[in-house]
Amino acid sequence: MENKVEKNDRSAFVSKFLRLLKGELGLILILAALMVVFSLMSPYFFTSRNLLNITRQVSITLIVAIGMTFVILTGEIDLSVGSSAALVGVATAAVLNATGSIFLGLIAGLILGVGIGFANGALTVYGRVQSFIVTLAMMGIARGAALVWTGGKPISRLPVDFAIMGAGYLGPVPVSTIIAAGVFILAFFVLNRTKHGVYVKSIGANREAARLSAIPVRKYRVLAFVISGLMSALGGILITSKLLSAQPTAAEGLEMNVIAAVILGGASLSGGIGTVLGTLLGAMVIGVIDNGMNLVGVSSFFQQIVKGVIILVAVLAKRSD
Amino acid sequence: MPDIALKLEGIHKSFGGIHALKDVSFELSEGEVHALLGENGAGKSTLIKILTGVHKMDSGIIQVRGKTVTIEDPVDARHKGIGAIYQELSLVDSLTVAENIFLGHEPSTSFFGTVRKKELIRRAAEYLLSFGIKIDPNTLVGDLGLGQKRIVEIIKALSINANILLLDEPTTGMSRAEIDTLFEIMDDLKIKKVNMIYISHHLDEVFRVCDRATVLRDGQNAGTFEIDKVDLKTLVKSMLGRTLKEEFPVREGRSSEETLLGIKEFKTDKMLAPISFSLKKGEILGITGIIGSGKSELALGLFGADRALKGKISIGGREVRLNSPDDAKRHGISFIPEDRKEQGLFLRLNVEHNICVANIDLAIKNGIISSKKKSEIAKETSEKLKVRPLDIKMAVQNLSGGNQQKVVIGKWLCGEPDILILDEPTRGIDIGAKTEIYSLINYLADRGTGILIMSSEFREMSAICDRILVIRKGTIVAELEGKDSSTEQLLTLALGG
Ligand SMILES: Nc1ncnc2c1ncn2[C@@H]1O[C@H](COP(=O)(O)OP(=O)(O)OP(=O)(O)O)[C@@H](O)[C@H]1O
Ligand SMILES: [Mg+2]
């Protein structure tokens, strides 16, 4: 009898370990391997300066990807994040220039992001159109609006103080890294320690079962898009702040990097499965590949191929049973 | 000595750390229907899936008619004449009956590689007719009831001209008439020299159609019996490893006189007719009827899941409006739905999540979930329901069918609700665990919970309910005291004889 208990303990341990390996631990190993390789290839790679630099480069992708994680967890997708970021950047800059107040600019940008997210959510949930279609349309609308608003030209001559968020440093640490870390901690908390997280995962895993588990499904589905809209807005503001100029063509293709980070992080496009820790690691893997290849001097054309291959390999490795 | 159609020897199979099959042997003689019995999680479905190549065994020998074979995958199994209907349905709802039947082995393709539709429908109709089944091959499978889906699943398995047919709990969700049809089909197949392995937790069915029975316990052989020479008690003892004292525990307490739930002329968009009845505090009220009589629609309606059209619901004397399951929960109603895969479970999520999701508030303090409390609730509930293996971090999809059902029940049990609605709660649950669940229902009722059980298992109903309402075509046609009712009486009333 005693023997049996012990064996059960061990088997539980084995399955726990396998579960970990398939989850975040596997990604950490991939990340570590990449870092070892790049350290060997470039002496500059593993310096605190460069590592902090990577976190700065990753911060915008990460913030938007965290919003995307909520949407993907509910089993939907948001293709409009890049365009929304650009439009929000333009709006923020315009309000800022018109009022002279950074605060009002930020508020306007964030509200616009929430509005776009709400429109995406309401059309998907109440209009019963697939989110792929809704957000594909929104992607065009938001980008078009940004271009029309600015006549295709960037809005520059923003007050220098505005650059602190995207380009500033607090000691050696980039401000945008701190903002991203804050967003990450908040999202981690919401998904793991609040009702919201339980509900979001349930909705993505089985919508009918979620409804019959007394979850207000529609509310939380719309909310996921709102969160994504808000995060895109924050991303758009950081991009504008970093460049000290609002470009209507900014963040083009951002949605691809963001979705790649989330999927790489172990989320399932059919919903229910995914963590923000995974998303963080996914974004870091992409960031390290970008940064490392630049340092090593791989041509930017070739970089895209390498990145694509690494993403495929990572996703396949994690899937194998 | 009869010829051996299929022989398994020394089969081992592990999933991660779980040893699901240990040195299992099995023999299927030509021309026999062989029952495979055992508790939930004993390894029955795993054995079936090894035979169809869904799972790879770790070691062991499979012989088909004396020849050792390896089965690569389900397509390979099909070529070797092995067909199966699995415990969980594998039909595609958005395709027609005909398309489903021939999915993956369409009878003939035209020059362009497209399926000849007419030919498909003709062949499907032929099959359905030859088994005397009245289903239009052009119907979408999504529009069929659960029992009819099972029949289609069987026809699909047969359409490959299987010589060995594996049936894993085929009667789940079937009406009596559909079960009779199934047994006729099986008799017919026996004449056609098809050999069958039959899995069921309904031992009466086993005595009706099987020749021999092999029992698995904890993934090991626990005995093989000739059905003519064995009795129910011996089989059950072999399955559980102990004798079952009483199948239906006797309830100590009784219902109070206080009315808890009052329903007046209530009807939703899905219900066939308005309904009125009341449920007392601490009462176990059964609602029975044949499949399709409107039990599930009533249950969903009372839980606020469908749109209410008319009538009144009052709880504790106060009239309430239930516009959503969320509303219903706030008024102390819990609901265990009939279809675990579609309505009950988050298959890819773990046991803990599945159990805690509806009552997550119990683990929340100041808006924050305590992981410790959450796992405590999950552990306690799974222990109470004897979910095996007891690993709350395991994805529910890796549990055996019966253990999944226990998790569905656990989801609402941990909340200690005022009113508990259960729709076919013991589906797929083994005979020992059923007793545990009846005890839990009794315990809740004794605490004062009003219990509403929808079930088409008449024996179960007359044994555990205080009062039974019989429903036919959406209308209540009779009311009986539980202890006064007999299975035959309920059947007659339900059918409208
Ligand atoms: N894919 C899987 N991954 C991990 N464990 C599994 C998997 N499939 C089955 N198991 C485990 O194998 C054991 C046997 O399961 P199986 O489904 O064969 O039981 P069963 O006899 O069919 O039970 P039931 O009567 O409940 O259907 C169980 O402990 C189950 O948890
Ligand atoms: Mg099974």
Segment-wise mean pLDDT, segments of 10 residues, chain B, 497 residues: 86 92 96 96 96 95 94 92 89 91 74 71 84 85 84 85 92 85 90 94 95 97 96 94 87 86 96 96 94 90 96 95 95 94 94 96 94 95 93 95 96 90 94 92 94 92 94 93 84 82
Ranges of each domain in chain A: 26-34+43-320
Mean pLDDT of A134-155: 97
Pairing between β-strand B4-15 and β-strand B59-64 as defined by DSSP bridges: antiparallel
**B76 and B139 together in one domain:** yes
- Counting one residue from A and one from B, how many pairs have CB atoms under 8 Å apart? 93
Pick the ligand that lies closest to the CA of residue B44: 1
Measured CA angle at B62 (ends B59, B67), to 5 deg: 135
Q: Is residue B11 part of a domain?
A: yes
> What confidence tier does A171 reach under pLDDT thresholds 50, 70, 90?
very high
Residues A82 and A68: beta-carbon distance below 8 Å: no
Residue whose C-alpha is closest to residue B242's, from B432, B483, B441, B49: B432
**B375 and B470 together in one domain:** yes
Q: Is residue B253 part of a domain?
A: no
Distance CA B495, CA B472 (A): 7
Strand ranges in B307-440 using DSSP code E only, listed in sequence order? 308-315, 318-320, 333-336, 364-365, 368-369, 419-423
Q: Which domain holds residue B354?
A: 259-495
Q: State residue A15's pLDDT score.
A: 63
B348 lines ligand 1 (CB under 6 A): no
**Residue where a domain terminates, one of B240, B268, B291:** B240
**B453 and B413 together in one domain:** yes
Third-level CATH fold of A26-34+43-320: ABC transporter involved in vitamin B12 uptake, BtuC (1.10.3470)
B358 interfaces chain A, CB cutoff of 8 Å: yes
For position B320, which CATH number holds? 3.40.50.300
Distance B42 CA to ligand 1 centre (A): 7
**B303 and B196 together in one domain:** no
Place of tokens 């099909």: B78
**Residue where a domain terminates, one of B240, B267, B291:** B240
**B223 and B301 together in one domain:** no
| Contacts of A78 by beta carbon, 8 Å cutoff, 6+ apart | A67, A68, A71, A120, A131, A135, A225, A228, A232, A255
Residue to substitute in B22, B351, B398, B434 for testing ligand 1 pocket (most ligand atoms within 8 angstroms of CB): B398
pLDDT at residue A4 is higher than 90: no
Distance B36 CA to ligand 2 centre (A): 10
| Secondary structure (3-state) at A140 | helix
Distance CA A41, CA A285 (A): 17
Query: Would you give the end-to-end CA distance of chain A in angstroms?
Result: 32
Residue whose C-alpha is closest to residue B334's, from B319, B342, B344: B344
Task: Provide the 10 A C-beta neighbour count for residue B227.
Answer: 19
Question: pTM of whole model > 0.95?
Answer: no
Predicted confidence (pLDDT) per residue in A72-125, tens digit? 999 999 999 999 999 999 999 999 999 999 999 999 999 999 999 999 999 999
Expressed in percent and rounded to 5, the helix, strand and coil fractions of chain A are 80, 0, 20
Q: State residue A1's pLDDT score.
A: 34
Question: Using CB atoms, which residue from A192, A208, A216 is nearest to B326?
Answer: A216
**B295 and B386 together in one domain:** yes
**B295 and B220 together in one domain:** no
Enter the DSSP assignment of B143: G
Q: Is residue B252 part of a domain?
A: no
As residues whose CB is below 5 A from the ion ligand 2, the structure lists B 45, 87, 400-401
**B130 and B276 together in one domain:** no
**B351 and B433 together in one domain:** yes
Residue whose C-alpha is closest to residue A317's, from A11, A2, A33, A16: A33
Q: State residue A319's pLDDT score.
A: 64
Task: Provide the 10 A C-beta neighbour count for residue B27.
Answer: 17
pLDDT at residue A6 is higher than 50: no
Q: State residue A7's pLDDT score.
A: 45
**B230 and B265 together in one domain:** no
C-alpha A50: how far from chain center:
21
Residue A63 Cα distances to A173, A182, A287, B78, angstroms: 17, 10, 13, 50
**Residue where a domain terminates, one of B240, B272, B294:** B240
Residues B65 and B104: beta-carbon distance below 8 Å: no
Q: Collect all residues of chain A within an 8 Å Cβ-Cβ radius of residue B326.
A: 214-216
Q: State residue A201's pLDDT score.
A: 96
**B389 and B291 together in one domain:** yes
Residue whose C-alpha is closest to residue B236's, from B223, B249, B254: B223
Residue whose C-alpha is closest to residue B152's, from B141, B143, B160: B141
Number of H helices, E strands in chain A: 14, 2
Task: Provide the 10 A C-beta neighbour count for residue B418.
Answer: 19
Q: State residue B2's pLDDT score.
A: 62
Compare A179 and B152 and report the one with higher pLDDT.
Answer: A179
Q: State residue B187's pLDDT score.
A: 92
Q: State residue B296's pLDDT score.
A: 92
Nearest residue in chain A measured CA to CA from B354: A202
Q: Is residue B254 part of a domain?
A: no
Which parts of A21-174 fold into alpha helices (H)?
26-41, 48-73, 81-99, 102-125, 131-150, 164-167
Alpha carbon of B441: minimum distance to chain A alpha carbons (Å): 20
Q: State residue A88's pLDDT score.
A: 98
Residues A18 and A321: beta-carbon distance below 8 Å: no
| CB crowding A136-165: b at 16 or more within 10 Å, else e | bebbebbbebbbeebeeebbeebeeebbeb
Distance CA B6, CA B3 (A): 9
Distance CA B342, CA B337 (A): 9
| Contacts of B12 by beta carbon, 8 Å cutoff, 6+ apart | B19, B21, B22, B23, B24, B57, B58, B59, B60
Predicted confidence (pLDDT) per residue in A220-259, tens digit? 999 999 999 999 999 999 999 999 999 999 999 899 999 9
Name the phi and psi angles at B456, rounded to 5.
-105, 15
**B198 and B321 together in one domain:** no
Domain count, chain B: 2
| Cβ <8 Å between B325 and A214 | yes
Name the phi and psi angles at B217, rounded to 5.
-135, 125
Distance CA B190, CA A25 (A): 53
